[in-house]
Amino acid sequence: MGKLLRRSRQAESRLGRIPPDRGHAQGPASRHAARVPVKYLLDTNTLIYAFRGTGGVRARMNGTSDADMNLCAVNLFELEFGFAKSANPGPQRALLDELVQRLRVLPLDSASAESAGQIKAHLQQAGTPIGPYDLLIAGIAMAHNLIVVSRNVSEFSRVPGLRVENWYH
């Protein structure tokens, strides 16, 4: 699993690849402590590219602090749907399980839902709608002041004020 994404911090530290205090709080309780600043919300397609090892996504994720990357409930829904249709979801499920343990998973809370509703109304009025899952991801990102990481820049760039980065290339 570490071969596919990144070895655990302890394993990398033992191998001398990174210092043990590379910007991460120590201990299991710190995983759920507030992290400031929170920076990136990974789109589901970014996670799929990381799992497959395509583009530059995995390298960029490996070079970014876990504390600066977030997943969301919408990612988990989309990936679970994909796993349910897959004949062999095991390897990708194991990678997702690892990421869920390492990264914060943001819910679709009331602030995110309000933001998504406002975005949908604006885009509908402008005649430039986006897909429902991207809409929810955009709402979560806006509510938490995050940068969406996606290869689907054309869709997310329709959302006024939403910052988007493409780590694929």
Q: Check pLDDT > 90 for residue 14.
A: no
pLDDT tens-digit readout, 65-99: 999 999 999 999 999 999 999 999 999 999 999 99
Average pLDDT, the chain: 84
Which domains does the chain carry?
Answer: 35-165 (3.40.50.1010)
pLDDT-above-90 percentage for the chain:
76
Query: What pLDDT is recorded for position 169?
Result: 87
Q: Check pLDDT > 50 for residue 135.
A: yes
State phi, psi for 40 to the nearest 5 degrees. -120, 145
Mutual orientation of helices 90-102 and 73-85 as an angle, nearest 10°? 170
pTM of model > 0.85: no
Q: Check pLDDT > 80 for residue 45.
A: yes
